[in-house]
Amino acid sequence: MNRIAQIFETLDYGPAPESPDPALAWLDSHGRKFGHFIDGKWTKPGETFSSDNPATGESLAQVTNGTPEEVDKAVKAARAAFKSWSALSGYERGRYLYAIARAIQKHARLFAVLESLDNGKPIRESRDLDIPLVARHFYHHAGWAQHVAREFPGHVPYGVCGQIIPWNFPLLMLAWKIAPALAAGNTVILKPAEFTSLTALLFAEICERIGLPKGVVNIVTGMGETGQAIVAHEGIDKIAFTGSTEVGKAIRAATAGTGKGLSLELGGKSPYLVFEDADIDSAIEGLVDAIWFNQGQVCCAGSRLLIQESIEERFIAKLKKRMATLRVGDPLDKAIDIGALVAPVQVERIRDLMKRGVKEGALVYEPDGDPLPERGCFLRPALVTNVSPANTLVEEEIFGPVLVAMSFRTPEEAVALANNTRYGLAATIWSENINLALDIAPRIKAGVVWINGTNNFDAAVGFGGYKESGFGREGGREGMAVYLKPSWEKTLAAASSSAAPAKAGAQKSNPLDSDVLDQTAKMYIGGKQARPDSGYSRGVFAPDGKLIGEVGEGNRKDIRNAVEAARAALGWGTTAAHTRAQVLYFLAENLDYRRDEFARRIKAQTGKDGEAEVAASIERLFAFAAWADKYDGAVHNPPLRAVAAAMVEPIGVMAIVAPEEQPLLGSVALLAPALAMGNPIVLVPSQAAPLSITDLYQVLETSDVPSGVVNIVTGDAVTLAKTLAEHDGVDAMWFFGSPEASAMVEKASAGNVKQTWTSRSRAIDLFDKEKFEGDYWLAKATQIKNVWIPYGA
Ligand code: NDP
C-alpha cells in the first residue's frame, strides 16, 4: 500500500471537545438552583428536582417543581400583562421579538452548549441547527407582529396561553410556541419538560435583560402534574402542547367543554420511501439525518424505511456500511454523530420495545464500532429487518436511534404501507423521477412531505400533523392563525332557548298514533335512500303540536354505514376544485327551482316564513361554490434551495350535527364549505325539523353529488353525535348543541384526535354572511400539507 492510501486507511478522529465552562459558569451564577420566572422576577426555589447531564449522569442544577399555586400566580401575572401587551402596536411588539432574536444570536454558543449538556444532543446539532432555527423563529415572528393586524383583519389574540413542551428540542420547541403567541399579542406561561428546563431558564434571563414587559413570558418548571395544573387552570384561554399522543389525548379530554383553544403537536412514525430510481447515496445520507439526528428522538423522524424491493439488498448493504462509520459518544465532541439519549428511563423504554420486537421475529443489526462510553445514556444505531406491519417496532413510536425497514413492490403498495399508521406527521420520498415523487406526495396522509431531502424546517413553513399526530400548525401563516381568533367569537353570548322550534322532535307516547301518515322520510346513505336499522321512526311536529311527518330513528349501525359510505367517497377530495364548484352551483340551481316547496316545508316545521332561509341557503351554496377553486395554498421560499408548497387539503370524513333552528340553512351553511373543500360528510340534520334535509336528498341526487359524499342520518342528535365522536372513521366534527353535549363530543373525540368545533349553545347566527361566508369554516374544513421540493443542481 502506498503512503497516501495508508494514511487514508489509518486516519482517525482526534478529540474535538467544546468547553462546557461558560455554561457551567452561568449555572454557578444562579447557585445551580432555580425558582420560576414569574411576572418578570425569579421566585425562590421551592421543592426541587435535579436536571442531569445524560452523558455523565451528573447533576447540572436543581429546578423547582411547580405547584398549582405557582401556576396560578403565573396565570395572574400573564393576565395582568395581557392588556398592555396586546394593546401595543405590532411594531412595538415586533421590536421586543427582534431584541430576543438578537440576544439569542449573541449568546448562541452559550445556549448551544447548555442545550447539549442538558439534553445530550451533539453540539454539532445544537450549534448548527437548534439555536440558529430558534433565532430565525424569533426574527420571522417579529415580522409577523408588525403585520398581524393587516394580515388577519378582525382577529384578536386569545389572551393567556398555557404552553407545554417536550425534551427533544427544548429551546426550539419553546421558540415555536412563544414567538407566534407573543407576535399575535398573547401572554404565556410555558412549562419545559422536566429533563430539560435549563435553556428555558436561560431564555427567561434573556427576556429579563432585553426588558420584556413583566408577565408577558412566565416560565414555570415542573413535572407532568405542573402541566396538568396549567391545563386545568380556568384563567387560561388556550393550550398549546407538544409531546406524546397519549398525553395529547389526555389534554384533549381535560379541556373538553371549557372553550379553551387547543393545538396539539404529537407523535409520529414517519415513512421514508426510497424508490428504485433514487440517488442511493443521497438517500442514505438523508436517512442518517432522518433517523439518527438527535438520537432518533424526533417526532418526525423517518423511522420506517420503505424500500423498493428491486434495490433492497444493495441499499441495506450500503446502509450497514454507513452505519458502521457513525460515531457515538460525548455530545460536546464536535466530531460526534450520535450523542446521549435524554435519560436512563428512555434507554430502558427503547430496550424493552426492541426486546418485544425481537420476540415477534425482528432481526436487529447494530454496527460494532468503538466501545460506547462507560457511563451515560448511549445506544448504538440500530437497523431492524424481517418485520411484519403488525410488529411492535413498526407500529410504536420508538423515539430512539432505531430504524425499521420494510420493502414494497409498486408505488401503490408504497402509499398503502406509508399510510398504514395512526400517525401522520411527516414523510420523505426519494426518487429521481419528479412525476413519481409529485404523484406520491399528495397521496400521503402527513402534514409535511420532503422530496429528495429530509428534516427541513423553517419558521415560514408550517409544521404539524394529520390524524393522531395532532392538529394546528407551528410556523408560517398557519402557525400565526392558531394564536388568533375572530374578535366577534370572543364576545359571543349564549343562545336564547326561544330560537328552537316549539316541540323538539318529542316522541309520541303511543307509537301507533303516528300512522296517520303513510310515508316516513328515509335516511340517505351511500347515494341511496335507507331505512333505519332500528325499524323505528320519530315524529316531526308543527309548532302547534300537529304531526306533520316522520323520519327514521337512526342508531349506531346507521352511523356506521354512513361513515363507511363516506370513507368510500374520499375520492371527492381529489376531484378537481373546478368540478366540485360546478356540483355546488348545480345544487344551488336545483334548490332554486324548488324554492317555494322548501319555503313551505320550513314554514310547516317552524311556523316562520321560510323564503328568506331558502334564499340564504341558495346564496350560501353559490358562495362556497365560488370558494372551491380559490381557497388554496401558497409557495414558501425558505432559506434553502427548495420551495415548500403549502397545499390545502380536505381533512377527510366530516361529521356535521346541525343546529335545531333554521332547518335548511342550519345544515346548508355547514355542508357547503365542507363539500367545497372536498370532505365527504355524515350529516345529522336538525332533530326537531329534519324534513328540509330529508327533502334535500332529492336535490342532491339530481345535482351530480357523487354517492357517499353526503350521507344523512336522522334521529336523536346527541345520541348520534356520541357515536360519531367516538368513531375512528370520522376525521373531524362540527357540533351544534348544549355546553354539556359539546363537552361530551370533545371528550369522545380524543380517541383518534379528531378536529372538533362545537357551538356550546353560543348565539351563532348562520344567516350572518359577513362572518360565515368566508374562511371561518373553510379553515376548519381543511388542513395544510407542506411539500418541500428541492431545486437547482
Ligand atoms: P410527554 O407527552 O410525556 O411530555 C411532554 C410534556 O408534557 C412534558 O413537559 C411533560 O412533563 C408534560 N406532561 C406530561 N404529562 C402531562 C399531563 N398529564 N398534562 C400536562 N402535561 C403533561 O412527552 P415526552 O416529553 O416524553 O416527549 C416525547 C414524545 O413527544 C414523543 O412521543 C414524541 O413523538 C412527542 N413529540 C412530538 C413533537 C411534535 O412536534 N409533534 C415534538 C417533540 C416530541 P414532564 O417532562 O415532566 O413529563
Report pLDDT digits (tens) over 368-377.
978 999 999 9
Q: 165 C-alpha vs ligand 1 centroid, how far in Å?
A: 6
d(CA 72, CA 459): 31
Q: Report pLDDT digits (tens) over 561-577.
A: 999 999 999 999 999 99
Please give the distance of CA 323 from its chain centroid, rounded to a whole number.
33
CA distance 724 to 712: 13
Q: What are the start and end residues of each CATH 3.40.309.10 domain in the chain?
A: 271-464
Q: Does the structure show a pLDDT above 50 at 219? A: yes
How far is 774 from 213, CA to CA, in rounded Å? 36
- CATH code given to domain 20-242: 3.40.605.10
pLDDT at 793 over 90: no
Q: Where in the chain is the domain with CATH 3.40.605.10?
A: 20-242, 519-630+649-782
Contact 480, 152 (CB under 8 A): yes
- Mark whether 125 is an active-site residue: no
Which amino acid is residue 417, in one-letter code? L
Q: Which of 50, 198, 251, 299 to mutate to test the pocket of ligand 1 (most atoms within 8 A of CB)?
A: 299
- The burial of 19, by beta-carbon neighbours within 10 Å (0-12 exposed, 13-18 middle, 19 or more buried), is given as exposed
Residue 680 to residue 736: CA distance in whole angstroms: 19
Mutate to test the pocket of ligand 1, among 242, 291, 478 (most ligand atoms within 8 A of CB): 242
Look at residue 502 and tell me whether its pLDDT is greater than 50.
Answer: no
Ligand 1 atom nearest to 191, measured from its CA: 9
> Which residues, 6+ apart, have CB-to-CB distance to 355 below 8 Å?
none
**Which residues are CB-neighbours of 28 under 8 A, at least 6 positions away?**
none
Residue whose CA is at the smallest distance from ligand 1 atom 19:
228
What number does the ligand 1 atom closest to the CA of 474 have?
40
Ligand 1 atom nearest to CA at 266: 41
Task: Round to whole Å and give the CA distance between 285 and 273.
Answer: 14
pLDDT tens column, 71-105: 999 999 999 999 999 999 999 999 999 999 999 99
What is the pTM for the complete model shown? 0.96
Report CA(300)–ligand 1 centroid distance (Å): 14
Does 499 have pLDDT greater than 50? no
CA quadruple 95, 98, 99, 103: dihedral, nearest 10: 180
The partner residues of 735 in beta bridges, in order of sequence, read 657, 758
Compute the distance from residue 243 Cα to the ligand 1 centre, in Å.
Answer: 3
pLDDT grade for 500, boundaries at 50, 70 and 90 = very low
Question: Could you give the CA distance from residue 61 to residue 25 in angstroms, rounded to a whole number?
Answer: 12
**Mean pLDDT confidence for 766-793:** 94
CA dihedral 491→497→500→503, nearest 10 degrees, is: 170
What count of other Cβ atoms lies within 10 Å of the Cβ of residue 375? 11
How many helices (H) does the chain have, and how many strands (E)?
29, 32
CA-closest candidate to residue 678, choices 561, 786, 584: 584
Give me the CATH code for the 519-630+649-782 domain, please. Answer: 3.40.605.10
Distances (CA, A) of 224 to 60, 191, 194, 220, 564: 21, 9, 8, 12, 38
Among candidate residues 18, 125, 265, 661, the one labeled active-site is 265
Q: What is the mean pLDDT of the chain?
A: 95
CATH number assigned to the domain covering 271-464:
3.40.309.10
CA-proximal residue: ligand 1, atom 32 (nearest) = 244
Looking at ligand 1, which residue's alpha carbon is closest to its atom 11?
Answer: 224
Beta strands in 133-182 (DSSP E): 155-157, 160-164
**In one letter, which amino acid is 387?**
V
Could you tell me the pLDDT band of residue 503, with boundaries at 50, 70 and 90? Answer: very low
DSSP 546-596: -EEEEEE---HHHHHHHHHHHHHTGGGGGS-HHHHHHHHHHHHHHHHHTHH
Ligand 1 pocket mutation, candidates 52, 164, 304, criterion most atoms within 8 A of CB: 164
166 CA to centre of ligand 1 in angstroms:
4
**What is the Cα–Cα distance from 513 to 550, expressed in whole angstroms?**
12
Q: State the pLDDT confidence band at 512, using cuts at 50, 70 and 90.
A: low
What is the reported pLDDT for 3? 86
- Kindly report the protein residue whose alpha carbon is nearest to atom 13 of ligand 1: 224
pLDDT-derived band at 110, boundaries 50, 70, 90: very high
Residue 501: pLDDT over 70: no
Average pLDDT over residues 463-470: 97
> Which residues lie closer than 8 Å to 269 by C-beta, 6 or more apart?
303, 304, 394, 395, 396, 397, 421, 423
The DSSP secondary structure of 273-333, one letter per residue, reads EE-TTS-HHHHHHHHHHHHHGGGG--TT---EEEEEGGGHHHHHHHHHHHHTTPPB--TTB
Q: Which of 65, 67, 221, 247 to mutate to test the pocket of ligand 1 (most atoms within 8 A of CB)?
A: 247
Secondary structure letter of residue 126 according to DSSP:
I
CA of 545 to the centre of ligand 1 (A): 54
Q: Which atom of ligand 1 is nearest to the CA of 247?
A: 2
Nearest residue (CA) to ligand 1, atom 20:
227
% of the chain exceeding 90 in pLDDT: 93
Nearest atom of ligand 1 to the alpha carbon of 231: 20
pLDDT at 496: 60
Torsions phi, psi for 694 (to 5 deg): -70, -25
Residue 86: enclosing H or E segment and its boundaries? helix 68-87
CB-based contact 304:272 (threshold 8 Å):
yes
Q: Whose CA is nearest to atom 48 of ligand 1?
A: 224
* C-alpha of residue 167 to centroid of ligand 1, in Å: 7
Which atom of ligand 1 has the smallest separation from the CA of 463?
A: 40
How much is the pLDDT for 589? Answer: 98
Residues 159-188 have a mean pLDDT of 98
pLDDT score of 369: 79
Reduced to 3 states (helix: H, G, I; strand: E, B; else coil), residue 733 is strand
Give yes or no for residue 504 having a pLDDT over 60: no
**CA 479 / ligand 1 centre spacing (Å):** 20
User: Which residues surround ligand 1 with Cβ inside 6 Å?
Assistant: 164-168, 191, 193-194, 223-224, 227-228, 231, 242-244, 247, 250-251, 265-268, 299, 397, 399, 425
The C-alpha atoms of residue 694 and residue 708 are separated, in whole angstroms, by 15
Question: Residue 514: which pLDDT band, with cuts at 50, 70 and 90?
Answer: low
Residue 560 burial by Cβ neighbours in a 10 Å radius (0-12, 13-18, 19+): middle
Model confidence over 589-643: pLDDT tens digits? 999 999 999 999 999 999 999 999 999 999 999 999 999 999 999 999 998 889 9
Mean pLDDT to the nearest integer, 270-296:
98
Atom 30, ligand 1: residue with shortest CA distance? 243
Q: What is the DSSP letter of 762?
A: B
Residue 443 CA to its chain's centroid (Å) = 18
**pLDDT band, residue 517 (cuts 50/70/90):** low
> So what's the pLDDT on residue 509?
54
- What integer is the mean pLDDT of 699-716? 96
Measured by CA distance, the residue closest to atom 9 of ligand 1 is: 193
CA of 242 to the centre of ligand 1 (A): 6
Q: In angstroms, what is the span from residue 351 Cα to ligand 1's centroid?
A: 20
DSSP-assigned beta bridge partners for residue 38: 41
Residue 508 has pLDDT above 80, yes or no: no
Ligand 1, atom nearest to 425 Cα: 41
DSSP state of 709: S
DSSP readout, 220-289?
----HHHHHHHHH-TT--EEEEES-HHHHHHHHHHHTTS--EEEEE-----EEEE-TTS-HHHHHHHHHH
pLDDT tens, residue by residue, 542-562: 999 999 999 999 999 999 999
